[in-house]
Chains A and B, each alone.
Chain A
Amino acid sequence: MMLLVTSGVAPYLAQAESILDVGETFVIPLLLKLVFVLGLFFVVPLVAGYLEHKVMGRMQHRRGPVEAGPFGTLQLVADGIKFIQKEDLIPSAADKWVFAIAPGVALVPAMLVFLVLPLGPGVFALDLELGLFYVLAASSVSVLGVLMGGWASANKFSLFGGLRAGGQLIAYELPLILAAIAVAVQAGTLSLVGIVEAQAEFMLFGSAINLWYVIPQVLGFAIFFVAALAELSRPPFDMPIGDSELVFGYMTEYSGIKYAMYMLTEYAGMVTMSGLMVVLYLGGWQLLPGVPMPGCEGAGGLFDCDATGTLLSVAVTFAKIMALIFVMVWLRVAYPRLREDQLQRIAWLVMVPLALLNLAVVTIAKVVY
């Protein structure tokens, strides 16, 4: 492994410190991190949802939400309050316990991903050595919640939706992971912070031109993006919901707060997947390739920042995340839903071979250079 390390420093060994690690005690950083993760989890998905409402509306010559709060910004908060007030319906034939905990099973993994997502220098709760592995593992648990909901609803549409989701998530998990492995190979680390640092120090074949991984691995990025869309059941890959065929798929029987939990899972997934793409391919909180962040000193001009640099870094990360979410919404508006057999065909006959090809090329290039 040491052979693969590009610089003299071994980033995967030097675990970065979170700025939330203040004081000597265990409790205060813990509380701070809890607030940080929960705040991210409950706020950023709402921003993403608002963006989706507005962008979709404007693309369809509508205005999107305008009444709730200034420019309709509080629309999703209002929706949340409405969902909480609604009656919590459980079908009499449902497997009640499974039905009740299924949204939570889907929700919690989506929340856990925020734990390791780095938003800036030191702006993360945890820098795991196996960060990338952890993210992929945690996010793939969500499918269990979907399957449980589909099964427990005692409704054929829900069951169809759940099984479709299961098949889809298994099919697209593979290209997603293969694309991510290629990044890990090139960076030489599984730590998300380490990958950002490796990107900042990646030079084009010995020259002084800094590049993000999206350039050498443009194929991998495309695969990761499409697979992420499918993982999230976002249109045009929303066959598990397929409202023209399956009523509302695995969510058919859900209402009120449980339905809101599924929706929050989807939006949180959009944020975490976009965040992951930013970290893996788009240089993390780096403004442009080769441009050091003002106020920062560390490797690649991205670490050891003062307050301004930190805030700027976080802003850059969020801007990139929102840009990716914008593209997701754009695709949703532009394309109709695929058919179930087309979906599986693309996954197994196109995505997996291409992802393997990408991995092979990256690995060979890594060993050669």
Chain B
Amino acid sequence: MAPSAPPGIGLLKGLGVTIKHLFKRPVTLMYPHERDELAPRTRGVIALMDENCTVCMLCSRECPDWCIYIESHKETVPPAKEGGRARTRNVLDRFAIDFSLCMYCGICVEVCPFDALWWSPEFEYSEYHMDGLLHEMDKLREWADTVPPPPPLEEGAVLPAEVSDAIAKAEKERELAAAKELEAKQAAEAPTPSAGAGPGKGKAAAEPEIHVKAGEIDQETYDQLIAEGKSERMARSKAKAAYVKKEKARLKAEAEAAGGADAGAPASAEAPQAAEVKVEAGEIDQETFDRLIAEGKPERMARAKAKAAYVKKEKARLRAEAQSDTGEGTGADEPAEVPSELGASPEAAREALHTDDGAAAEPAADATTTDVPAARKLGDVHVEGAGEIDQEVFDQLIAEGKSERIARAKAKAAWVKKRKQAMLDEEGGA
């Protein structure tokens, strides 16, 4: 064999490559100190929302590793109506997942018909001993609080069936109410020719949804939360929410400014377009939280209520802003049947109807509803039981010796009923 060619330029090239890379930034993520941004559907741990669980046992049976342990007992629920039949229901006593057996296939999450099981991106639950990986209901429920909200629907996507159904139903109800009111009005005073045009106009005012891309974070909020000693993960998610909120507020303000300018022209009889007021949940109202804790409420309940309180406040604030923004531009050129001092009323009415939590008794809502038809067409009142419960009912039931689960369920139902009633009252009163 002939001696190989003298080592030449190739060796030097190799050295050049390595020395070049010496001065590049390392790609290492210093994990415990800094964290990667996890994908929204990361399979970190399986979380349980036990209030949704009906002990159907589907998850346990489908689990390939048989690592889900469920225990329950039956309880008899007294008939709802006089002379009705008493019913039995399963009450969950124990729900445990052995994560030393779990292979993270996610079949249980897929199969759960009641959205009781969720993937949470939490992944730091390693243990020194294998026994420690068997996690009971309380721990699984804690993880449920870390489940991120689902990503927003795409532009123009079909709404989920339950949402569109609820909207249709609410709209129908409102139309009926409006018709009644209109009749009453016509009976009371001379019918104005333009009154009939109200609904049409309202319809014409299409409502732009404001979509804000998530992903960025609000640095201020982030820094502040970190300074308050919050965990990095929580701070990040809150800062993200804050960013989205700010961005939405900004976009809305812009849209309204544009809408206001349009409305200034005499030709545009349509109501200025108002953005839906949407408030990202996730933050809590610290005052309410502290108060509830001081009253001896459990931390979970206090948190939930404080969250609701926060959302309520935030909505009130945004609406107030929106009103002050739009009121100036539009007032003079409103159609005749709308009193000029209520220039901003269509938006306000719509917003009031969009609230899906305890925002019923907001002061702004009081002034709104003279232009009911316009609002009715657009609203999508639906009351979502987002975990809130009616504390009174709950306490009472507990005092009567009912199980905590039943009390919670009833209290929830009571809360939803109240909310609906409040909304109806609001409309009727106006």
Instruction: Write the residues of chain A forming the contact surface with B, with a CB cutoff of 8 angstroms.
Output: 55, 57-63, 66, 330-331, 333-335, 345, 349
Contacts and interface: CB of A to CB of B under 8 A. Distances in A.
Nearest to A345: B3
Contacts of A55: 22
Interface stretch (B11-19, B135-143, B299-307, B313-321): B11-19
Contacts of A335: 11, 14
Interface in B287-303: none
Contact of B3 (A63, A66, A349): A349
Interface of B: 3, 11, 14-15, 17-19, 21-28, 30
A58 B26 contact: yes
A330 B19 contact: yes
A61 B21 contact: yes
B69 to A, nearest CB: 39
A112 B250 CA distance: 75
B18 A59 contact: yes
Which residue of A55, A59, A63, A345 has the most chain B CB atoms within 10 A of its CB atom? A59
A55 B19 CA distance: 10
A331 B25 CA distance: 21
A58 B188 CA distance: 85
Contacts of A58: 21-23, 26
Given A58-B26, A61-B25, 5 more contacts: A61-B21, A61-B26, A62-B26, A63-B30, A349-B3
A57 B27 CA distance: 11
Nearest to A327: B15
25 contacts: A57-B26, A58-B21, A58-B23, A58-B26, A59-B18, A59-B19, A60-B21, A61-B21, A61-B25, A61-B27, A62-B26, A62-B27, A62-B28, A63-B26, A63-B28, A63-B30, A330-B15, A330-B18, A331-B15, A334-B11, A334-B17, A334-B18, A335-B11, A345-B3, A349-B3
A360 B19 CA distance: 36
A349 B26 CA distance: 41
Given A61-B26, A61-B27, A62-B26, A334 B14 contact: yes
A331 B11 CA distance: 10
A45 B30 CA distance: 28
Contacts of B15: 330-331, 334
Contacts of B18: 59, 330, 333-334
A294 to B, nearest CB: 32
Contact of A59 (B3, B21, B25, B30): B21
A37 B80 CA distance: 92
Contacts of A331: 15
Contacts of A61: 21, 24-28
A335 B30 CA distance: 29
B30 A66 contact: yes
B139 to A, nearest CB: 30
For the complex of A and B, list the 8 residue pairs with the smallest distance between their C-beta atoms, beginning with the closest.
A334-B14, A334-B18, A63-B26, A63-B28, A61-B27, A333-B18, A59-B18, A59-B22
A268 to B, nearest CB: 25
Contacts of A349: 3
Contacts of A57: 26
A52 to B, nearest CB: 13
Contacts of A59: 18-19, 21-22
Contacts of A334: 11, 14-15, 17-18
B349 to A, nearest CB: 59
A330 B23 CA distance: 13
Nearest to A331: B15
A227 to B, nearest CB: 16
A345 B3 CA distance: 9
A70 B11 CA distance: 35
Nearest to A342: B4
A327 B14 CA distance: 13
A333 B30 CA distance: 23
Contacts of A63: 26, 28, 30
A175 B17 CA distance: 29
Nearest to A58: B22
A57 B21 CA distance: 10
Contacts of A345: 3
